[in-house]
Amino acid sequence: MGVGKRLLVVAACILAAPAAPGAFAQDGGNVSSKSQSCLMCHKRATPNIVASWSRSRMAQVTPAEALKKPEPQRRISVDKAPEGMAESVVGCAECHTMKPDSHGDSFAHQGFEVHTVVSPQDCAACHPVEQQQFAQNIMHEAYGNLQDNAVYADLVKAANGPLSFAGRKLSQKAPDARTNADSCLFCHGTRLEVEEMASRDTDFGPMEFPVISGWPNQGVGRINPDGSKGSCSACHSRHQFAIEMARKPYTCGQCHKGPDVPAYKVYKVSKHSNIVDSLAQSGDWDFSAVPWTVGEDFTAPTCATCHVSKVASPDGRIRAERTHRMNDRLGWRIFGLIYAHAHPKSPDTAKIENKNGLPLPTALDGTPASEYLISGKEREERIGAMKAVCGSCHSGSWVDGHFERFAHTIETTNNQTRVATEIMQEAWKQGAASAADSLFNEALERRWVEQWLFYGNSVRFASAMMGADYGVFANGRWEESKNPHAMLEGLLQKLKAAEK
Amino acid sequence: MGVGKRLLVVAACILAAPAAPGAFAQDGGNVSSKSQSCLMCHKRATPNIVASWSRSRMAQVTPAEALKKPEPQRRISVDKAPEGMAESVVGCAECHTMKPDSHGDSFAHQGFEVHTVVSPQDCAACHPVEQQQFAQNIMHEAYGNLQDNAVYADLVKAANGPLSFAGRKLSQKAPDARTNADSCLFCHGTRLEVEEMASRDTDFGPMEFPVISGWPNQGVGRINPDGSKGSCSACHSRHQFAIEMARKPYTCGQCHKGPDVPAYKVYKVSKHSNIVDSLAQSGDWDFSAVPWTVGEDFTAPTCATCHVSKVASPDGRIRAERTHRMNDRLGWRIFGLIYAHAHPKSPDTAKIENKNGLPLPTALDGTPASEYLISGKEREERIGAMKAVCGSCHSGSWVDGHFERFAHTIETTNNQTRVATEIMQEAWKQGAASAADSLFNEALERRWVEQWLFYGNSVRFASAMMGADYGVFANGRWEESKNPHAMLEGLLQKLKAAEK
Amino acid sequence: MGVGKRLLVVAACILAAPAAPGAFAQDGGNVSSKSQSCLMCHKRATPNIVASWSRSRMAQVTPAEALKKPEPQRRISVDKAPEGMAESVVGCAECHTMKPDSHGDSFAHQGFEVHTVVSPQDCAACHPVEQQQFAQNIMHEAYGNLQDNAVYADLVKAANGPLSFAGRKLSQKAPDARTNADSCLFCHGTRLEVEEMASRDTDFGPMEFPVISGWPNQGVGRINPDGSKGSCSACHSRHQFAIEMARKPYTCGQCHKGPDVPAYKVYKVSKHSNIVDSLAQSGDWDFSAVPWTVGEDFTAPTCATCHVSKVASPDGRIRAERTHRMNDRLGWRIFGLIYAHAHPKSPDTAKIENKNGLPLPTALDGTPASEYLISGKEREERIGAMKAVCGSCHSGSWVDGHFERFAHTIETTNNQTRVATEIMQEAWKQGAASAADSLFNEALERRWVEQWLFYGNSVRFASAMMGADYGVFANGRWEESKNPHAMLEGLLQKLKAAEK
C-alpha cells in the first residue's frame, strides 16, 4: 500500500474514533510515531489490547530508563537498548514489526510489515537472558517432546483419536491437527504456519490478513512462524505483561491443574496457598517488586517464588536467582513417565532411550535411562538451591524432614506403579491385552495409564507441596491402591473367559 | 392484627432494640414509613438482612433519582417509577408487600400483608425489560424442562430415587419432593406452595407464618406462589443485589460447576480467569459500572461479560447489549442432550420431539429435531454477536480461528457420543440391557450417560472457553475415549455370560 | 554453651546482619531481651519467620495491654498475664523457651533451652479457655481416633500400604510411618519423638539440633514432645497467627477438601461463598474484629462464622459464643462411619463399640451405638445454637425448611449406604469377598467404601451447606445410585464365574 492509501486509512480512523474518554497517558508522549499510527486505529478496532498495553510497564518506561535501574532491580537483561529503541516506550510497532524478514507471518498492513505472532525471539531483543534460560527449559521443547515421541504420540492418539464401532470392535484413527490444538497442544503449543492470505471485513473496510494454521495458541512450546519456539505470553499475559500475574499461581494453574499434573490443585490445599489467599489481599504484599523480598513483599510463596523468581532477604542478600529454566531448583521429575526419575539433562526428551528401546526416561521395570538424566550430584545441588528458598521461613530440621519424606514417597509411589505394571505385563504375556498395536488403547491399558499418570503423580505432587488431600483420597494413595485391584480383577475375568 | 396490637409490637421492638452502633444511613431518610416499620423490628430480628440491604443501591437511590440517569447508564427499565414509589428508596415493604393479592403466600404480619417470596413479577415493577428477557431465557423454564420431560424425569429418578436390594436385584423408587429440592431442583427451582399457617416463636413473641413447601429455594426456574417463574436472587443475591456480584464468576459457579456442566471450572483454567484473578483486585477494575467499559472498567471477561452484560468501548460505542436471555450470543447448545445442537427456539424444551418420538433435541443417532431448533442463519448471527465481544481484545484471525476449532470440536465430540450410543444400542438389541423400563438405570446405561453428560460436555466447554485441562484429562477426551472401551468390555462380558 | 561462646555467636550475627531495610517496628521496643537475642540471628537465618511474627498481634500487644480490653473484645482468656510475661510482647523466646523441662525436644541453643515444637500447652499460658475447648474437640484426638481404631487403621492400610504382586495375587503390607505422615497423618497429626541430636550447618557455623521423627507436621491431633495433643498452627498459621486467616475458608480447606470430606468444595459452590468471594474484598469487611459483628464486619458467613466464632449482632448481643469445640453447633455427624449419626459424646472415638463389636458409631445395618452418642435432646440443642447464627440473615421459615430438608437427606443417604452394605454383605456371605482379612482391601470392598466415604458424605455436606453440585453429579446422588449397580454387577459376575 502506498503512502497515499495509508494516509487515507489513517484519516478514516481519525474520523471514526472520537477522543476516547479513557485515553491513556502515553498518547503522543514517548510512544514512537510508528506505534502511534497503530494506536490511531486500534484504539477503536481492539480497544482492550490498547488499554491493557497502556497499563503495562512497557508502555510507561523506555528501555533507556529501564537501563538506569541497578541490579538487582533491573528487569531488562541487555546492557544497551536495541538499536533505535532506547527512547520510546515499547509499543505495538516495536514488537509487531521487529525484524519483519525473519517472520513467516509478516504481511503488509497499512504501510507496515506487521507480524501477528510475537515470538520469544522478539522479546529477546530486551530480555535475552530470560529467553536463553527458557530455551533450556523443558517447556521450550513441549511440542516436539510430545509429537516427536512415538510413545507419547500414541497416548495422544488414545485420548484424542476419533472412535468407530463395528463388528463389536472399537477402532480409533489418529486425531487431526485441530483436535490436538484444542487439547494437548493447547498447553504444549501448536505449530503455526501461514496457509494463505484472506480478506476480512474490518471497521475500516476489507483488508488482507494471513490465515495461520494452529492459531490462536499460546502454548509454552509453540513452533513460531519465525522458527523460534515458545510463547512468553503463556505466562506473561498480553498485553499488560504484568510480572504480578506471572507470579500468582493462577498463571501456572492454566496448565498444571488436571489429574495428570495437579500442581495447582495441590498447592491450593497447602498452607502456603492458604496464607497467600488469606493475606495477600491485605494491601501490604507486593507482587511486582524486583527482586522479590521475602518478609517484605510477601510472607508465603507462590509457584514462582520457589521455581522461578529472584528472591531476596530483607537484608538484600539474594536467596535464589531468577531462572526461566524452571527445574533449576528441582532434583526429581515427579511427573512419572512412567516412574518418577531424576530430571533429564536435555530439555529435548524425545531422544531419550530406555533399556527397552523406548523413548522413555525409565524402563517398564523402573530402571532409569541414566545416561540421559542428571547425576545424583546435580540432583542434590538443585535440591539444595530449593532448600535455600525454604530456609526463608523454615528451620533446617523442618526442611530436611520434608525432603526426606518426599524422597521416600517417590520410592513408594514408584513401587505402586511397578505393581500395576507387573499386572499389565502379565496381561500382555497371557494375551489378555496386546502391546503390539499400542500400549494405551485397551480398557485395561487405560487403567494402567491412570496408575502412574494420575495417581502416582498426584501423590508425589501432594508430597512435594504438602497438599494432603491429594496424598490420600483426591486421586491419591487410595486410588493408587484401588486401581491395581481393579486391574487384577479385570485381568482375571478375561483369563477366566478365555479358559473356557 | 389491629393498629393497637401492631403499635404494641413496634413498641416492644423499640424497647428491645437500643440504638445499634452500626445503624445505617438510610434510617428515617428516604425510607418509606412502611419500610421503617419493618426495619424497627428486623434490625433486631434479622440484622444482616437489614445490613445487606442498607449496602445496596436500592437502599440509596430512589426510583426518581434512578430515572435521571441517561441511557446507557440507566439501571432501571421503566420510563416512570411505579405509582407511589418514586420518592422513597426501595425498601422492605416496597417489595414484600407489593400487590399482595397476587401472592399466594401473602399473610397478615404486624398490620401488613406481607409475602415471603419476592418474585420476578415484583422486580419487574422497575425492571420489566430484564424480566421479559429472562422469560425468554431457557433458565426461566428450568423447572418444567426437567420435571415435565419424561426422559429427564427418568434421569432424575436414576440419580435421586431411593434404592432397595432384594433377591440379588436392585430396584429404585421415584424420589420424593424434598430429595429433588435438595439436588436437581436446588438450581432448577422448586415449586413453592403454601401448605398451612404455623405459629413460630420470635424475639417478639409467637407469630403466625406460612409454611411453604419447596422453601427455601432460589433456583432460576422456581415456580412462585404468584404463578410467576424464576428467582432474580439466584444471581442477584439478597439483599444487597450487587451488580458486581452477578458479574463475578462465582455467581454462575453456584450452578455451573459440576461434571455435567463444568463451565466455571473450565473458565478457572482459562487465561481470561487468570487475568481476572490476578489483576481484578488491583483496585482499578470496576465491576459495578453501567455500561461496562472494556479497557477502563476491566481488561478480561467474566461469564457476564460475554453472555449478559452491556459492554461498551472506551469511545462509548456499545459492543454488546445487555440481555437476560442469556443465549443471545450463543449459537450452539453444547450441553449435549445427548448431542450438542443448535439452540432450541423456545425456552420451553419439554415440547420438543425428536424423530424417535422422544422429547430430546437430537435423536439417538444425532439427527437434530430441527423444527424446534434455531436456523443456521440465526446460529451464525448469535455467534456474530459473541464475536463482537471477543473483538474487544482479539483480532479477527484469532477469533475466527477459535470459532472454527470450536465448531470442529462439536463435531468430534458428537462422534464419540455416537460411538458410545452404538454400543448402548447393541446392548439393548442383544438384551444385555433393557431400554424398556428406563434408559438410565442399569450399570451400562449409567456409563453411557456419562459419555455425553460429563465427557462430551466437558470437552466442549473446554473448547468454548479455552480451558485446556477439561479438554484432555479432567473428564475430557481421555475419558471420552476410555469410556466406550469400558462400556464395550462390560457388554462383551455380559454377552459371553449369556452365551453359556 | 557457655556465655562466652554465646556472645561470640551473637557477635557473629551482628557482623553478618547489617541493618535490614525492612527492620520491623518492634526492634528494641517491648521485645524481651531474650527474644531480642533470638531475633539478632534469626532475622538473617529465617527472615520470614521474623517478618511474619512482626506483623502479628502478638508482636505488637503485650499481655498487659491485651488484658485492658473488656469482654467481649478480649482475645486472651486469662485474668492475669503469665508470670513475668505481662510487659513484653510475645516473642520467640516467650513461646520457644516456655517450661523447657516439660518439652522432650528442648535443647541447648545459644545459651537457651529452646524447643522446636510449640504446643497447645504453651499457647494455653494466655489462651487456656481455647485450649480446654479444643481438648474437647474431636480433632484433638485425631491421631488416636485413626491409629488406635483397628477398623480405621485397616482402612489406612488399604490406602497406604505398599502392594506386591505374585502368583496373580496382590498383597499389601502395613504402611510405614513416613508414608502415613505424608498422607492421613498430615491432617490428623503425627507422633513427634526426638530421635537424636545431629549437627547441622548454619549461617553461623555448625550447631546441634534435635532430629524429631514425624516432623514437620501441623496436624490437629499431633502428639507433641511435651505429651500434649494438637497444633494451634494447624489453623492459626505461624508466625503471624492472624485471626483473619483462621476465619477465612482456605484454612479449613487445607484438610476439608477431599472427596471424603468435601466441605470446602461444597461451601465454594454455595451462595454463602459466592457472597464472600464477590464482596469481601470490597474493603469494608473486617475479618479481624472481636467479636465478629454480622452486618458490620461481614454480610455472609465463612466456616468459622457458623462453627467457631463469637458472632455478635450490631446491637451488641452475642448470637453465638466462640467455641473451639467445633461441634457445639452441630447436631449430626454427617461424616458417615459408615452411616451419619448423632455426634459422639467423647472426642475419643476409638473406645466406641457398636452392636457388632466393632469400634464404629453405627452398626453395619445402621443401628447407632447410642450409648456413645449424644442424646436427641442435646442434638436439638446444638442445632438450635446453629439456628441462632442462621437467624442473622434468614427468617425462621427459611431456617426450619432448610434443617428439615437436611434431616431428610441424612435419612435418604443412610438408606443408599444400607443398600450398598447389603450387597457387600451378600458378597461376604457367598464368598465372593472375604471380610475375614479386612473389610476394605478387595476391589468390591473398595467400591463399598466409596459409597459412604465419598458419595454419602458429599451429598450430606451439599445438603448442609446448600452446595448443590455435590448433591447431584459431583460425587453426589448420581454416584450414590450408580455405585450399587456397579457393585452388584461385579458381585454377579463373581458368583457366575464361581458357579461354573
Residue A19 pLDDT > 50:
no
Chains that touch B (3 or more CB pairs under 8 A): A, C
| Cis before C72 (ω within 30) | yes
Mean pLDDT value of segment C376-395: 97
pLDDT at residue A467, rounded to an integer: 87
Largest separation between any pair of C-alpha atoms in chain A: 86
C125 neighbors C99 (Cβ within 8 angstroms): no
Alpha carbon of A25: minimum distance to chain C alpha carbons (Å):
27
Which pLDDT band holds residue B3 (cuts at 50, 70, 90)? very low
Residue A287 pLDDT > 70:
yes
Residue A403 pLDDT > 50:
yes
pLDDT at residue A2, rounded to an integer: 44
Cell of C160: 497406604
CA–CA gap between residue A263 and residue A255 (Å, rounded):
9
Best probe of the B interface among C273, C286, C393, by most B CBs < 10 A, is C393
Which pLDDT band holds residue C467 (cuts at 50, 70, 90)? confident
Mean pLDDT value of segment A86-107: 97
In A142-271, which ranges are E strands?
Answer: 163-166, 169-172, 193-202, 205-213
B59 neighbors B90 (Cβ within 8 angstroms): yes
The residue ranking higher by pLDDT, B280 or B27, is B280
Which residue carries 432424575 as its cell?
Answer: B156
The share of chain B scoring above pLDDT 70, in percent, equals: 94
Mean pLDDT value of segment A121-146: 98
Residue-range domains of chain A with CATH: 3-140+183-233 (no CATH), 327-499 (1.20.850.10)
CB contact under 8 A, A46 and B477: no
pLDDT in tens, C293-331: 999 999 999 999 999 999 999 999 999 999 999 999 999
Mean pLDDT value of segment A60-77: 95
For chains A and B, CB pairs below 8 A equal: 200
Mean pLDDT value of segment A392-397: 95
Residue A14 pLDDT > 80:
no
Best probe of the A interface among C14, C170, C303, by most A CBs < 10 A, is C170
Residue A388 pLDDT > 50:
yes
CB contact under 8 A, C471 and B182: yes
Question: Could you count the other beta carbons within 10 Å of the beta carbon of residue A111?
Answer: 17
Closest residue, chain B, to C300 (C-alpha): B48
CA–CA gap between residue A298 and residue C163 (Å, rounded):
42
Best probe of the C interface among B107, B170, B233, by most C CBs < 10 A, is B170
Cell of B132: 421479559
CB contact under 8 A, A268 and C251: no
* Residues C477, C483, C489, C495, Cα dihedral to 10°: -130
Question: Could you count the other beta carbons within 10 Å of the beta carbon of residue A181?
Answer: 26
Cell of A5: 492509501
CB contact under 8 A, B244 and C392: no
> Which residues from chain B sit within 8 angstroms of residue C393, using beta carbons?
46, 48-49, 52
For chains B and C, CB pairs below 8 A equal: 200
Cell of C497: 464365574
What are the residues facing B373 on neighbouring strands? B344
pLDDT in tens, B344-382: 999 999 999 999 999 999 999 999 999 999 999 999 999
B276 neighbors B250 (Cβ within 8 angstroms): no
Closest residue, chain B, to C398 (C-alpha): B216
> Which residues from chain B sit within 8 angstroms of residue A240, using beta carbons?
275, 279, 299
CB contact under 8 A, C412 and B162: yes
C-alpha gyration radius of chain A: 26
Burial class (CB in 10 A: 0-12, 13-18, 19+), A51: buried
Residue B15 pLDDT > 80:
no
Alpha carbon of C32: minimum distance to chain B alpha carbons (Å):
38
pLDDT at residue B468, rounded to an integer: 82
Mean pLDDT value of segment B221-231: 98
Best probe of the C interface among B38, B243, B250, B453, by most C CBs < 10 A, is B250
pLDDT at residue A13, rounded to an integer: 52
Q: Smallest Cβ distance to A165: which of B315, B392, B419?
A: B419
Which pLDDT band holds residue A283 (cuts at 50, 70, 90)? confident
Which pLDDT band holds residue A500 (cuts at 50, 70, 90)? low
- Alpha helix segments (H runs only) across B430-456: 443-450
pLDDT at residue B29, rounded to an integer: 67
Altogether, the residues listed in chain A come to a count of 500
Closest residue, chain A, to C175 (C-alpha): A412
Chains that touch A (3 or more CB pairs under 8 A): B, C
pLDDT in tens, B423-459: 999 999 999 999 999 999 999 999 999 999 999 999 9
Concatenated DSSP letters for C128-186?
HHHHHHHHTSGGGGHHHHHHT-HHHHHHHHHHHSPEEEETTEEEEPPPPHHHHHTTHHH
CA–CA gap between residue A261 and residue A403 (Å, rounded):
20
pLDDT at residue C469, rounded to an integer: 85
CA–CA gap between residue C315 and residue C293 (Å, rounded):
9
3-state SS, residue A72: coil
> Which residues from chain A sit within 8 angstroms of residue B316, using beta carbons?
21
pLDDT at residue B270, rounded to an integer: 96
Which pLDDT band holds residue A3 (cuts at 50, 70, 90)? very low
C458 neighbors C264 (Cβ within 8 angstroms): no
| Contacts of range C233-238, beta carbons closer than 8 Å, 24 or more positions apart | C233/C118, C237/A271, C237/A274, C237/A275, C237/A278, C238/C49, C238/C52
Q: Which of B234, B239, B224, B38 is nearest to B117 (CA)?
A: B224
> Which residues from chain B sit within 8 angstroms of residue C275, using beta carbons?
237, 240, 245
> Which residues from chain B sit within 8 angstroms of residue C500, using beta carbons?
500
CA–CA gap between residue A453 and residue A447 (Å, rounded):
10
